[in-house]
């Protein structure tokens, strides 16, 4: 697989983003949804910020309070035996079998714009900011699908009651309509196909079953983009392979003669995130035709290997021009990069499923 990483990578880094308040620092500008608008490439960035801590022994967790519309800041001492700080992304309670208690940063969505796809100008203000009780830990990992003149943006809404997928829409990247939570917890990695197929909209989603099942990919149908049904299990983890631990949809599916090409992420159980592809039937995208046995992109460059959470390449959006797939992707939960791949080469690299 020929992968051309831009020389300017990483294209957007935390240092390029002005914090939204003076007592905060930006630690991540990554996992952006990508689309085009008015002749420009738009990144809907996930920006992660945390309160500046003058004392290296103190970690501060920012939490949005929907009643006051303000952030509250909780402080923890790193030597507090009640908590586990080993994963830099989260604070866990020691002895608890539950997931995390707090996140160490708050994410929201911010826009970056570019004429050439290489150099981006970042808006001064947040674009979508936590605004309700299901978003108190932040909003993350947007995917943008354009249908007619409307851009639909799904993102993870994170709060103590779980991580679900909410939807907003916009026509101009200024005014935003909120549609609420569409996929209840736990669900992530939701994206919708760019057109109706046989009269129905389709969405990929990634529930995390508890008593039985794994974090794997599902597909659902809708007639209005708000209510989804006829859920089908689509694609599963593969032991011993690059997608053995968890997986989820990435870019909006690309329509090709051979089928819908979906670029998805897979991680091993030790959290090494790669990108691969799956080809879905054009007429019935719940049918899997072919799939990557090897990743099409894996963390190799230093900015992919090292960072806030290293060994991660994670794409939420691509721009396709002819045979060129410009895959934008988050690196090491820190910055944004882009790599160009050949659409035909990706399709030719897939293993057909009998
Ligand atoms: C995981 C990581 C984090 C994210 C939380 C909540 O721990 O993906 O980056 O903030 O989940 O979604």
Asked if residue 89 has its Cβ within 6 Å of ligand 1, the reply is yes
User: 38 exposed, middle or buried (CB, 10 Å; 0-12, 13-18, 19+)?
Assistant: exposed
Asked if residue 156 has its Cβ within 6 Å of ligand 1, the reply is yes
Residue with tokens 């599963």: 236
Ligand 1 centroid to Cα of residue 261, in Å, is 26
* pTM (predicted TM-score): 0.97
pLDDT value at residue 354: 79
| CATH number of the domain where residue 87 is located | 2.115.10.20
Asked if residue 140 has its Cβ within 6 Å of ligand 1, the reply is yes
Q: Whose CA is nearest to atom 3 of ligand 1?
A: 89
Ligand 1 centroid to Cα of residue 66, in Å, is 21
With residue 345 as reference, give the H or E element that holds it. helix 343-349
Q: Whose CA is nearest to atom 8 of ligand 1?
A: 89
Asked if residue 163 has its Cβ within 6 Å of ligand 1, the reply is yes
Nearest to 278 by CA among 218, 319, 334: 218
Could you tell which of 91, 140, 308 is best to mutate to test the pocket of ligand 1, judged by most ligand atoms within 8 Å of the CB?
140
Q: Which residues contact 310 (CB under 8 A, 6 or more apart)?
A: 299, 304, 332
pLDDT in tens, 230-277: 999 999 999 999 999 999 999 999 999 999 999 999 999 999 999 999
pLDDT value at residue 97: 83
Domain membership of residue 272 as a residue range: 4-352
Ligand 1 centroid to Cα of residue 139, in Å, is 10
Q: Give 95-122 as a 3 state SS string.
A: CCCCCCCEECCEEEEEEEEECCCCCCEE
Between the CA of residue 64 and those of 54, 135, 136, 239, what are the distances in Å?
A: 21, 8, 4, 39
pLDDT value at residue 174: 96
Please give the Cα distance from 128 to 111 (Å, whole number): 9
pLDDT value at residue 33: 98
Nearest to 127 by CA among 105, 108, 144, 147: 108
Asked if residue 61 has its Cβ within 6 Å of ligand 1, the reply is no
Overall number of domains in the chain = 1
Q: Would you write out the chain's pLDDT as a tens digit for each of its 354 residues?
A: 999 999 999 999 999 999 999 999 999 999 999 999 999 999 999 999 999 999 999 999 999 999 999 999 999 999 999 999 999 999 999 999 888 999 999 999 999 999 999 999 999 999 999 999 999 999 999 999 999 999 999 999 999 999 999 999 999 999 999 999 999 999 999 999 999 999 999 999 999 999 999 999 999 999 999 999 999 999 999 999 999 999 999 999 999 999 999 999 999 999 999 999 999 999 999 999 999 999 999 999 999 999 999 999 999 999 999 999 999 999 999 999 999 999 999 999 999 997
């Amino acid at each position: 697989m020929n992968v051309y990483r831009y020389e300017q990578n990483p294209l957007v880094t935390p240092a390029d983003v002005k914090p939204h308040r003076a007592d905060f620092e930006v630690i991540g500008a990554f996992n952006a949804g990508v689309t085009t608008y008015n002749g420009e490439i738009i990144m809907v960035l996930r920006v992660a910020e945390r309160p500046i801590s003058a004392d290296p022994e103190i970690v501060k967790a920012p939490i949005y309070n929907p009643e006051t519309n303000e952030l509250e800041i909780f402080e923890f001492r790193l030597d507090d035996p009640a908590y586990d700080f080993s994963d830099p992304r989260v604070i866990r309670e020691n002895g608890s079998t539950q997931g995390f208690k707090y996140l160490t940063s708050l994410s929201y969505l911010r826009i970056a714009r570019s004429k050439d796809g290489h150099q981006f100008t970042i808006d001064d203000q947040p674009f979508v900011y936590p605004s309700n009780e299901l978003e108190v830990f932040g909003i993350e990992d947007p995917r943008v699908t354009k249908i007619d003149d409307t851009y639909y943006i799904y993102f993870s809404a994170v709060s103590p009651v779980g991580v679900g997928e909410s939807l907003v829409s916009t026509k101009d990247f200024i005014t935003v309509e909120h549609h609420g939570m569409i996929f209840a917890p736990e669900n992530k990695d939701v994206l919708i196909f760019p057109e109706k197929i046989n009269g129905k909209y389709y969405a990929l989603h990634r529930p995390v079953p508890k008593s039985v099942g794994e974090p794997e990919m599902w597909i659902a149908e809708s007639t209005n983009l708000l209510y989804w049904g006829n859920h089908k299990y689509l694609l599963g983890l593969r032991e011993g392979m690059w997608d053995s631990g968890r997986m989820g949809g990435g870019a909006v599916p690309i329509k090709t003669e051979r089928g819908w090409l979906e670029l998805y992420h897979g991680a091993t159980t030790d959290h090494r995130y790669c990108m691969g592809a799956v080809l879905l039937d054009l007429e019935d995208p719940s049918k899997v035709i072919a799939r990557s046995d090897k990743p099409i992109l894996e963390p190799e460059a230093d900015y992919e290997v090292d960072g806030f959470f290293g060994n991660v390449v994670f794409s939420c959006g691509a721009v396709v021009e002819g045979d060129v797939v410009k895959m934008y992707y988050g690196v090491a939960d820190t910055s944004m990069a882009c790599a160009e791949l050949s659409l035909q080469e990706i399709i030719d690299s897939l293993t057909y499923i009998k």
